[in-house]
Amino acid sequence: VKVVVLAGGLGGSRLALALAETLDPADLTIVGNVGDDVEILGLHVSPDLDTILYTLTGRLDESKGWGRVDETWHALEAAGELGGETWFRLGDRDLGLHLVRTQALRRGESLSSVTARLAHAFGLMPALLPATDERLRTWLDTPAGELPFQEWFVARGQRDEVDAVRFEGADAARPAPGVLEALEAADLIAIAPSNPYVSIGPILAVRGIREAIEGRRVPAVAVSPLIGGRAVRGPADRMLARLAGGTGPQQVTDCYKSLLDALVIDEADADEDADVRLIVTRTLMEDEDDRRRVAEAVLETAGALR
């Protein structure tokens, strides 16, 4: 069974890992968010693609939920001493990747091509594709003004309420090579338990991807990022409350209008309702058993829907 999963960072990488462990990894294509890509110290950083790559190849620092395990911070420390920016934490091992990617991009290689090379070098089995090779950036409209994603997310610690989300470059962004082909060949489209607005939203802002999913002939299943109406991590619950009027399955479903056939929700939300089929399981993925349970819920749901 061939699966395409749309994924943001940590929640996205968790479901991607769950599916990679449950399926033949060659049957999995991960389409990653690039709306939070950012230039730091002159380097192109793709935090969501990297979190997925590190998670699925055993390199993620699980305690932090980002960056590499066994990391050191000497380059950033030196850069800081010399007046360089240090608000975005790039570890030494992590920098090695950003250096190679940035050099490739400067030489004219596409993000999807260099991502494939990096993934191959690290032994990633599933295909990892950026949503687009074009520049696409997430901006947040807040009471403090419109902020670029990482300024809002990292520098200001998501303290600003979000009134609207804008995807710079979305109009011109075409799906990266392989994305539409994978969607066309898929038996199931999965949406990871990532923030619907700022992790999945930028992927769906690429018109070709949205249209391909709207025109799907196979089931599309999302895993809710909420447990008991609260985000496991990050500001998804606050954003849903403010922008969708609540933090239940219906509000998550509303984020994915015409793109969803079923929503996997946590037992803690089992008494809630929504206008797609709801599948109840424990959705927190802390270990391999958890991941298998969620992956199976996603895959069985798809089977039931077909």
In whole angstroms, give the CA distance from residue 257 to residue 252. 9
Contact segment (CB under 8 A) with a second copy among 41-49, 156-164, 240-248, 265-273 equals 41-49
Residues 6+ apart with CB under 8 A from 3: 19, 23, 27, 28, 29, 186, 187, 188, 189, 190, 299
Q: For residues 86 and 158, which CB has a smaller minimum distance to a second copy in the complex?
A: 86
- Site membership for a second copy, residue 38 (CB under 8 A): no
Q: CB burial class (10 A; 0-12, 13-18, 19+) of residue 188?
A: buried
With binding defined as CB under 8 A, does residue 62 bind a second copy? Answer: no
Nearer to a second copy, 59 or 216 (CB): 59
Residue 77: CB atoms within 10 A of its CB come to 13
Pick out residues in 202-241 that bind a second copy (CB under 8 A).
none
* 94 near a second copy, judged by CB under 8 A: yes
**Tokens 């089992």, residue located:** 270
Contact 269, 249 (CB under 8 A): yes
> What is the C-alpha radius of gyration for the chain, rounded to an integer number of angstroms?
18
Out of 22, 46, 55, 102, point to the residue binding a second copy (CB under 8 A): 102
Judge whether 179 and 31 are in contact, CB under 8 Å.
yes
Q: Kindly list the distances between the CA atom of residue 105 and the CA atoms of 34, 43, 110, 127, 289, in Å, as whole numbers in the listed order.
A: 14, 10, 6, 19, 39
Smallest distance, Å, CB 38 to a second copy? 14
Residue corresponding to tokens 């309702």: 273
Kindly state whether residue 95 participates in binding a second copy, applying the rule CB under 8 A: yes
Is residue 79 near a second copy by the rule CB under 8 A?
yes
Burial class (CB in 10 A: 0-12, 13-18, 19+), 93: middle
Q: Does 80 bind a second copy (CB under 8 A)?
A: yes
Quick one: which of 24, 42, 144, 306 contacts a second copy (CB under 8 A)? 42
Q: Name the segment binding a second copy (CB under 8 A); options: 91-99, 159-167, 188-196, 224-232.
A: 91-99
Among 92, 168, 187, 300, the residue binding a second copy under the rule CB under 8 A is 92
Q: Does 265 bind a second copy (CB under 8 A)?
A: no
108 lies in the binding site for a second copy (CB under 8 A): no
> Are the C-beta atoms of residues 294 and 253 closer than 8 Å to each other?
no
43 binds a second copy, rule: CB under 8 A = yes
* 121 part of the interface to a second copy, by CB under 8 A: yes
Min dist CB 102 to a second copy, Å, is 6
Is 75 or 180 the residue whose CB approaches a second copy more closely? 75
C-alpha atoms less than 13 angstroms from C-alpha of 195 in its C-beta half-sphere: 26
d(CA 107, CA 117): 15
Question: In whole angstroms, what separates CA 278 from the centre of its chain?
Answer: 22
Report if residue 58 touches a second copy, rule: CB under 8 A: no
**Residue 41 binds a second copy, judged by CB under 8 A:** yes
Q: Is residue 93 within the footprint of a second copy (CB under 8 A)? A: yes
| Smallest separation, CB 99 to a second copy (Å) | 4
Residues that bind a second copy (CB under 8 A): 41-43, 68, 71-72, 74-84, 91-97, 99-100, 102-103, 106, 117-118, 121-122
